[in-house]
Amino acid sequence: MTRFPLHALALSLALGLSAGAARADEVSDAQALLAKGNAGDALKKVDQALVAKPNDPRLRLQRGNALAQLKREPEAIAVFQKLIETNPELPGPYNNLAVLYGNQGDFEKARQALELAIRTNPSYATAFQNLGDVYARLAGQAYKKALALDKGDNQLPLKLAVVQNVFEPSVDPRAAKAAAVAPTPTPAPAPAPVPAPAPAPAPVAAAKPATPPAVSAPAPAPVVQAKAAAPAPVVASAPATTVAAKPAAATTATATPVAKPEAPKVEVTKAEAAKPNPQQESQQAIEKAVQNWAKAWSQRDMDDYYKAYTPDFKGKAATRKAWEEDRRIRIMGKKKIAVEVSGLKIKVDGDGNKATVTFRQNYTSDALSVKSSKTLSLVKSKSGAWLLSQESSS
């Protein structure tokens, strides 16, 4: 059973705290130790801080995270349940409790906990993502039960395809068969009658006797040619083609001088396009930066993904290193990822060094498909590269 990335989720929690809450560095130190995998040291540090602040929610949350990393899941569940009792307005404990239920295979309890997390904070993106994973697992269990109960049902493969369509775009097998049959009745030889009129005079002599109607069809063609070449009816039999070729050549000759005056116009257009437009160049560079960011994410290229952000970007994590570790676990934990952006709207600030980009994002992973509106803030670095400084989804 694939385990949920608890560590990655814990680092991204944001809790509203009172003035008497734990100092930021105490929590940050624990998060940094957890990010390195030193759960034992993190637990000791948190327990020491809890002596002075036994009711601090952030310290208690980190204690539960440390216990979970140490595989002491029953103790971690008890910590999160107690934290929910004393602080029911915080979404983080619900979320991490759901992760532990998911690791145990109890996806129904995980679903209930995540829905409570979303109810406390409707904009809690992490809970929405995990809920999608939970629904995918529940759907998989339902399909396995259906397969076990109805082994002789020939429609079961089609039912699975329908389930996959909920999360990922795929082709309905029935549509695929229809598409395979469709090209058969369309005969490509339809254009064959077009070349037939051209050699009409020659085939008349060598034509098979079985096709007398075909002779009557091309018959009007020579009459038309005779009208066009009225002064030379004798030539209409064979040299008609030669006569037709001569006016064609004359037409080409007359067309050539017409094309010449247009040529300089094209050159003028090129010269005008060559002039640099700073605003247009910025728009193109920003769009390319966003596309490269999505490409690195889709290809799970962590080096290029990190480089797409400003060096000081850390998201909701305590440190840049913690954010990088969180993203690495989330991205590399998927077998495949596809990120598509569309409908980009770019707004560049007056100084030309900052920009805001809004667009529609279509994210698809192993068993999750989410469409959302995304907003990115970008800044222009000293080297001229556009880097992400902020991001948000809705």
Q: For the chain, report the end-to-end CA distance as a whole number of angstroms.
A: 31
In the chain, helix, strand, coil percent, each to 5?
Answer: 55, 10, 30
pLDDT at 206 over 80: no
Q: Return the biggest CA–CA distance within the chain.
A: 117
| 373, 361 Cβ separation under 8 angstroms | yes
Query: How high is the pLDDT of residue 252?
Result: 44
CA-to-CA separations, 241 to 33, 225, 236, 246, 309, in angstroms, rounded: 89, 9, 8, 9, 69
How far apart are the C-alpha atoms of 93 and 13, rounded to whole Å? 9
Strands 338-348 and 354-364 come out as: antiparallel
DSSP track, 269-324: HHHHHTS--HHHHHHHHHHHHHHHHHHHHHTT-HHHHHHTB-TT--TTSSSHHHHH
Residues 283-304 have a mean pLDDT of: 95
391 against 92, higher pLDDT:
391
> Is the pLDDT score of 300 beyond 90?
yes
Q: Mean pLDDT check: name the lowest of 124-133, 157-166, 271-280.
A: 157-166
Rounded to two decimals, what is the model's pTM?
0.37
Which of the two residues, 55 and 226, has the higher pLDDT score?
A: 55
What is the rounded radius of gyration, in angstroms, for the C-alpha atoms of the chain? 35
- Higher-pLDDT residue of 20, 119: 119
What H or E segment, with its residue span, contains residue 361? strand 354-364
Average pLDDT, the chain: 72
Residue type, 124: Y
Most confidently modeled range among 52-66, 187-201, 211-225: 52-66
Higher pLDDT, 149 or 43: 43
**Which letter, b or e, does each residue of 71-108 get, where b requires 16 or more Cβ atoms within 10 Å of its Cβ?**
ebbeebbebbeebbeebeebbbbbbbbbbbbbbeeebe
What domains are defined for the chain?
Answer: 6-144 (1.25.40.10), 279-393 (3.10.450.50)
Give the neighbor-by-neighbor strand order of the sheet with 338-348: 338-348, 354-364, 369-380, 386-393
pLDDT for 4: 52
The predicted-structure confidence for 214-232, as pLDDT tens digits, reads as follows: 444 444 444 444 344 444 4
pLDDT at 42 over 80: yes
Higher pLDDT, 376 or 181: 376
60 or 205: which leads in pLDDT:
60
Relative to beta strand 354-364, strand 369-380 is: antiparallel
> How far apart are the C-alpha atoms of 330 and 292, rounded to whole Å?
19
- Predicted pLDDT at 195: 52
Q: What are the two backbone dihedrals, phi and then psi, of residue 371, each rounded to the nearest 5 degrees?
A: -110, 130
* pLDDT at 352 (0 to 100): 86
